[in-house]
Structure 1
């Protein structure tokens, strides 16, 4: 860096380097564009020091570009500036390794101030009449050397910053609803975790005993959630090769009590080429006072030299009691009744939880006597082939019978296969049974292709399969990815309730080079942006947009329309993120630009969507005439191009405008029509939003019974589709009704729950509204 400007010509001279030369392999125009984009996105994310830092660095690049003629010097600077740019980008890319914290915010702010001083110095040097000569001065050499040294220290501080992967939080499964006979173990685990500073729990045992289910129920217990708040992490070790680095990052990131649930820890423990490193990691984790650990693992002994509290006894998790197994079976199979034959089958299954669940699912379609006969025949075949009569044989019998029924590929077998959701974590050494994985993945490809037209029916059909779909497809992409797997993932991504699992699958899809190349990766990332925006992860969504723009700049497009459409979609997504954060000025700018870009390439749908969003911004700003004009025009455009969803959304917004102006008859008419349209096209989210608005109208008119009915129904529907914000808003509305009826205990309960939910999803407006009650 000290030689960077040594051979610059005086101000009156002309640089010999041609505009657009790329002496270092990095196009300066692309570097400036990247820094400008970074500045804009950082501003949108609310990280002002980073935005200013990128803008100042861009200005310095322009100084160098205009004054430099020495290609080696320009190469040196360009390479250095490019590295600095990549380090700054990591602040907006949590999965690349940097997590924003107060300490990091201060580091960026300090570096921004240093850059401002450097910028003034460089501008002063550039305007001296004997610029080139002066740069040979020892003092100026030190200035430039100091700039590089200070920048290097800043980059090192970023590279050593806390790492985190939001996917850990996003991928945490819910505890299974069917869970019997383990209450005492849950209580014991909760007590251990909550009594002292830290605890080390081991849930050991063979496959199919319900180790993961027990860990999840302990993790989700109210007392555990109260102690660890947002610092409880479920880490599926068999699916996350980066788990060690992720865990280390989480330990560095918080001074609060942390709970780590290390699920299927046998995968790194037994498959690692360096078990000592894994042992050192687990012992280091357990050596920290503020960190509690639950490890689930096959076998009888916990990992490392650690004093584990084993739940269920020294030999591992025991089978269920006969009573608990019977309760689990009957809670799944409503067709079966308690009987001696059922008890005999459960004893044959050794009351192993997974085997009980598998057979209970099968009994929904098969009479119990036929099921028992088939099971015994399968077991006889296994024993005839040399297997020992054991619990493992009983488990494999249940699995084999389930898979055989899959081979028929008929409607009946499809309906009895929610059982597949239990297979991956329960199947002994399932990751080695590649033929079974291939068989199951083919089934899911077909299942997702042939889903019912009704969104409600389709979601209900998939409900029990979600964990298995995630596990199977992520594994298949590692083993033998096919375009059919990606199409199946796209189908799965249509369901909002499954968004946590879908994000993990989309990340895995990005690890493969698909037939469409980088354009497919852009499509995948846009789906991630939509899901993250929907779930309120705005920084993560902005990070994905930044990556899309980076990829986009590296592609030589065959079709200019495709290039413009990608940029327009980036602007539209950024505009919607601004809108959701009440940053209306920035949202209008981005959406107006996107609308113009869509119109320039004849994309009527994209332009109509921008027009709808602009109308909604006016609605939120109480600018009703402008809102009505834009929403009506957007609705007309949606109807012309046959986009029923967009038209229904505009109709709902117009209904809300009437509601906000106390024009209740018109509001009820429009909202009811919109609800009907949403229901016809399977738009469950839109229908729930209409029901909520209708409930609010009843509430405003003091029609409390009708309001409670509507809001309760809307809350239920929001919860079914995984829309936490809508559910929280319904809770708030119900709390308001109880308050207005002087039912203060119920009001406090509802409003407190709403406040907790708003805090979890980071909705400032919701928090403000609740706190103002």
Structure 2
């Protein structure tokens, strides 16, 4: 759209400028007067400052009058405010009089800028009049002043696109090349959400898009600006989350979006000022960036706080909608003396049923039972099973009653419903009538289901009234009372018979599978892996298992489709009805979250942090978060979320979450950016403690890291996905050390593979990461992938002239060639590495090369040369305090004795090496040595000892996903059975070992298996 022509007409005498423009004029006149009056001598800079300030005020006034703008366009209004803000970061030191004059000038009209703030800024800044002058020039450039008029103000650029022609906004988003498709969809969704909000909120998506348009330029100003953009993205993604259709555009949401809109516009203005200043003058004011970023972060944090509060209120509204959708409004509740139907499917609760039934029929004392736990764990089902149990029916006969409190608006609803249940007439005092009724009967069993509706109320009076009713019911000795309630802590001042076991756990894997099979039937063998994986992913939660089965049966969903959907939307797919608590996992979890206090965000903020950690939040992490995040009472916040059973605390004080709850919170309730940054800071420090080599300190360090390994993996992967060009060295270092550590435990290439494409422009980090990846692929027997990564890493190291690292890659490539059976290439690569180490006078590097060359000689059956190299290398490793590497040499010397038939010497060497591996906690060493030692025991006719050792090797191979290790264990086990005449078992194991060797293209293993099968054929024929 063409820019309207500016008009030079003077405003009429009745025209009133917007307040911002009035402030601007006052400011410009004041600064001009004070600067000129305070000059000790004429100066071009002060003259220009005065001229710039006046011309800016003239241009904005002219533009406002020209388009009859009674209200400045928000973007222009922020620009006007920033004119004054940029002055606060400048101290115009030429002499004392000027300094004092400018301090007076910087007071905005009305005294809205404090003297304290001015003094603080003055102390921090060392910029001159020249810096201030170029800052004003930047503002003029930003306001696009042409012919004495601001085109930004005059054209009102945001209004036509965002408000008058929304289709243009959607078109601009879809054609953008600065954001990916996922974020485009998010922006489109956000634009649609703001349809119900007044202008200028419709322009939010366009403003965010503009921020990304210049993202690279802004990040170049300072790396901290990447964090600002991340916070902006977080806000957008939360507002436009998948269930955003439930977000009502009311006053609370509007206030949050308004604050966010203003914050983003202000960020763009400040960054444009800094960018323009940098163009005009190389040195920007030292504190200008820091001040701009700090102010912008504060504005964004405030907007996020408002959004979190608004969404918490919105969650409570959504809860009422869910109950209404279920048809559970008060007028629709049908209280009845009829018991609900007995559950048809119940697995994994035998112990709970036995214990609760035993309590319920106990005649020696009044029994009070509480069945607590998170939503979806089957509390109602368990209570229903109890009331129908044959022993309970025999004890209470027709005095068994089931009262559903789920739809009650208050305790009075429950009491009146109970009158109906017991067929008592309505009365003005239903509790007195009920108490009299209970006392007039010998024994009565009553179950109050879903007590949380009235017990977990944020209304203190209602909660107090509910407690009072429970206490009066507790006084009736003939009454057996059972409650079910979301949460972990039952109502106080009542002696609950099952107090030590009130919270239901999730199901076992066997019970979950039985539950699923009862509903969905048997699953084809080809789909069982996906089924078992999904059951594990939903944490064996009964409701989630049931809904997963119903998706298969009722909706006819195929397993590959279910797996794809789960990986994309997680718990969102687990529903058969849109809002029903019993038909929708998300709705069930949302009901629990709705009971969080809306006036205190700390519990929800802590919950969102816990959700980031799949292996739970340990006490040390919690204590550090309390310090870094400024939680006033983190234990109090924990009590709240634990009380609602949204988390549970283990014996070692680790806070954990059931998998569906964690995934829901992870998706729907993101932590504040500052809180997440603090969490990352903690885990970066944990990553720095990861051991990088196996030595005497390794076992203790490993045991400290292993409990946090899944948390590190999840956090680092999430951070990689938000990576930007200004890469965090903390992130890159952490990914590499965690990935390297996985060699010693369970090799895992996931995070290093995700990192590598994002650091292509950083060759040093890229080379290190490729070398790490090559080792992981090698441990996972992916030889071609390992060779590719090692070759590329070597090339990068050579270009960087890092000879030692390049030699290490040569050595790595030699090992890969050996495993592929290419001995000529293996010797060539290892010889090249050895030559480099020799030139660098690296005794340690030479020893590693000799060790690896010795393995080649061993496999070529050149035992003499192999033994000589292993012996010399071992001596070097012992001098260099490399016990694990020395043990490898000792193990191989023992293997040479085995091949030569000296089994006593082999046993001595191998058992010594195994002892070293065990003391160091080297799982790979234990597995390899156990395999060889098992074959020695076999040859000594010690078959039980042999099978025991080989089982250890097999189990470690399974845990680490090491196909070669598994194949070797199976091959040696086949020989044990063979020696005992168990030919069928031996053949089965040998064929399986052959198949595994073929899957990883392990030539030597294939040859060994083929030779063994041929010998087995001859043995069977004989």
Structure with more contact order per residue of length (Cα contacts < 8 Å, sep ≥ 6): 1
Between structure 1 and structure 2, the one with the greater Rg is 2
TM-score, scaled relative to structure 1 = 0.50
